[in-house]
Amino acid sequence: MDPDWAIDFRTRMLSFELRHPLRKGEVSASLKVRITSGCFHREHSPCAYELIDRHLASVPLSQRSKFDLIEHESGPELLVHLALVTAGVTLAKSVIDLVIAIIKARSEGIKQGDLPDCPVEIIVRRVYDRDKGIIPHFRPHFAHILRLTGPSTHDSL
């Protein structure tokens, strides 16, 4: 892992925590939605980002405080709080809905001509020790043709 990337990531996470202080029972995490090869940003995916922007505009301001969206060349990154519960962790509904909206926007954008036409992956990361590093990531893959609808989509995310 590039040491500069690790420092940048740690800085992003700490900055997020300063703007959005953690409550008891929460941890911060990064959900990076990226394509497996190439670029997924406004220049190469204007149709997808138009849909993402529309979705963001529909999110109530009270829910927008639950995450930060950072655009990267390889795809958007959501900085979020995870609630620790007995059975694992939970995400706010608005965050799950945004991840689904990004994946759907990517699929719809490809249908409208956005390039490249590569599968999407979600990488979940967090700083586990501010002095030592980053938790290893988990990468579920989604092909752009996957239909993400209904309650089972929310459950699988």
Report the alpha-carbon angle 149-47-138, nearest 5: 55
Amino acid at 73: E
The structural domain count of the chain equals 1
Residue 38 lies in domain: 3-156
- DSSP assignment string, 25-59: TEEEEEEEEEESSS--STTT-HHHHHHHHHHHHHS
111, pLDDT greater than 80: yes
What are 54-104's pLDDT values in tens digits? 999 999 988 888 899 999 999 999 999 988 887 777 888 999 999 999 999
CB 79 within 8 A of CB 12: yes
134, pLDDT greater than 60: no
Query: Cβ neighbours of residue 25 under 8 Å, at least 6 residues apart?
Result: 83, 84, 85
112, pLDDT greater than 70: yes
Highest mean pLDDT among 23-27, 74-78, 116-120: 74-78
136: left (phi over 0), alpha (psi -120 to 50) or beta: beta
5, pLDDT greater than 60: yes
Q: What are 139's two structure tokens?
A: 């990468």
Q: What are 100's two structure tokens?
A: 């689904």
Please tell me which residue, 140 or 97, carries the higher pLDDT value: 97
The CA dihedral of 5, 37, 89, 150, to the nearest 10 degrees, is 150
Residue-level pLDDT at 82: 87
Residue-level pLDDT at 140: 53
Distance, CA of 86 to CA of 25 (rounded, Å): 10
Residue-level pLDDT at 144: 38
Mean pLDDT of 17-30: 90
